[in-house]
Amino acid sequence: MNTYAFHAELARPSGPTIKNDIQRVDTVLIEAARGLPASTLHEAAGRIGVLPPEIKPVATGMKICGPALTVHSPSGDNLWLHRALYVAKPGDILVVHVSYGFDYGYWGEIMSCAATARGLGGLVIDGCVRDGATLATSSFPVAARGLCMRGTGKDIGARGWINYPLMMGDIVIEAGDLIVGDADGVVAIPRVSARQVIDDSLAREIKEANVMARLREGERTLEIYDF
């Protein structure tokens, strides 16, 4: 018997490795982070949280910002991504670990359409996606390792996890953590420290604007930074 049921009255998948209720980073902090570069958040956080640099938005100008909905998927299988679509809440970023089976097209136009209809905030996946031309012009932001048309399976009995901690590169991501991605890459900021990191990031942006103003006036980086 399949232990992963879909309850029509709840419209949410459930099972022994699915957590439906998580604590998310505050929406006020998400909106503040939306205007900040991923690199600034990384520096202000103490140079932590950088996901593997191969993971980039599929189009220039895409911005990803929201709480993590973590998904650990079996290699070469995207059924757990479909389940996650209906566990996630509006604004959530699906953050997907593919068990090192990078070269499959785990996500495409159909799933982006479904995610948009659900009001989700984006996808960050350490594998590949397909339908690249369509995804690049979509309003739904996607960050991935690249493009691959190889099809995925849907093994009903394969074990996966939703809203459990996962690791990308050397970064542990907890459900509800702040995820921000832009042209420089993707950063994960722990939920518990997000407020301080955002405050420090805003201060850093002001400081850097002041430095650039001084440079335009003819000062040198050597003296400004006392190198």
Asked whether the beta carbons of 143 and 58 are under 8 A apart, the reply is yes
Task: Consult the annotation and say whether 108 binds a ligand.
Answer: yes
Cβ(41)–Cβ(29) below 8 Å: no
Q: Which residues make beta-bridge pairs with 26?
A: none
Helices within the chain (DSSP H only): 27-34, 38-44, 79-87, 109-118, 132-136, 194-216, 221-224
Are the beta carbons of 135 and 142 closer than 8 angstroms? yes
Q: Tally Cβ neighbours within 10 Å of residue 112.
A: 22
| 156 is an annotated ligand-binding site residue | no
State both tokens at 160: 């996966």
Q: Are 179 and 124 in contact (CB under 8 A)?
A: yes
What's the residue count for the chain? 227
Place of tokens 């103003």: 213
CA distance 94 to 16: 19
Q: Take residue 103 and report the two structure tokens written for it.
A: 């070269």
Alpha-carbon gap, residue 67 to 89, rounded angstroms: 10
109 marked as part of a ligand binding site: yes
Known binding-site residues for Mg(2+) equal 131
Binding annotation for substrate: 108-111, 130
Question: Which residues are annotated as part of the binding site?
Answer: 108-111, 130-131
